[in-house]
Amino acid sequence: MCSLEKRGRVYVLSLTGDNEHRLNADLIAAVRSALAKVRAEYAAAPNGSALVTAAEGRFFSNGFDLAWANAAGSPSASLQRLSSLVALFKPVVADLMSLPMPTISAVNGHAAAAGFMLAISHDYTVMRGDRGFLYMSELDIGLPFPPYFMSLMRAKIADPRTLRDVTLRAAKITGAEAKATGIVDSVHAGADEALQAAMRMGEELAARNWDGGVYASIRMAAFPDVCRAVGLPAEDAEQKDKTIAAKL
């Protein structure tokens, strides 16, 4: 369902297979396991590192596994299944927001709903320009946004008109549009080129050899609403003082 390897200084987490990479309990658990391994390896031997998340095939991720949810047998059971996926995915966002290194998503194709959220949970996003779009499908299928989705979108989609179009028009945003509105950092000719660009950025950022704990602390301070929404504890003044003292 996913693989993890390290290329030089860069960890590469890949959603494997030529499918829609629907986020079900198994895939979510596999992603969390990979992120836990990255965190543990960094803790054991802190050094300049970065994470790139990519996917094989035509999709980055088409969101939650709605077919599984809808097969529950009744509307209430389907809603319960969907709610379980919403709850399971929240810690993935928390893991990425607190990871002690720069993170980059390489969007190789469609990224919809929770798949879109997975992409923008990273510090940087690069995207292919020849196909694929970013799309929040909830309005079209009659579902409200989980509160942490809204917090993440408010944090990562700075232009209010773009946020309006993503949430209230269910707009399908192409790579060029995403770059123009600041949702993604760069657009590339194809999936391979996008991944190569993400790897270059990862190597450049890892080479800065920043303190991962400080990096994660600054990230969380930059996006406090997202962190609160996914249950990350706020760093108190005493913790910050200890971090500073350790550097003196």
- pLDDT tens figures, 222-240: 999 999 999 998 765 556 6
Judge whether 185 lies within some domain.
yes
Judge whether 236 lies within some domain.
no
Question: For 185-213, what is the mean pLDDT?
Answer: 97
- Burial track 74-108 (b if 16+ CB lie within 10 A, e otherwise): eeeebeebbeebbebbbbbbbbbbbbbbbbbbbbb
Mean pLDDT computed over every residue of the chain: 94
At 234 the pLDDT is 74
Place 60 in a pLDDT band, splitting at 50, 70 and 90: very high
* CATH code assigned at 134: 3.90.226.10
Place 242 in a pLDDT band, splitting at 50, 70 and 90: low
Judge whether 130 lies within some domain.
yes
- What's 157's DSSP letter? -
Phi, psi dihedrals of residue 74, rounded to the nearest 5°: -155, 155
Judge whether 213 lies within some domain.
no
Judge whether 108 lies within some domain.
yes
Structure tokens at 113: 């709903």
Q: What single letter denotes the amino acid at residue 54?
A: A
Total domain count, the chain: 1
Phi, psi dihedrals of residue 240, rounded to the nearest 5°: -65, -40
Judge whether 224 lies within some domain.
no
Q: Angle at the Cα of 20 (from 73 to 140), degrees rounded to 5?
A: 65
Burial of 73 (0-12, 13-18, 19+ CB in 10 A): exposed
Quickly count: other Cβ atoms within 10 Å of residue 33's Cβ: 12
* Domain ranges, residue 116: 3-208
Judge whether 183 lies within some domain.
yes
Judge whether 216 lies within some domain.
no
At 246 the pLDDT is 61
Question: For 176-183, what is the mean pLDDT?
Answer: 96
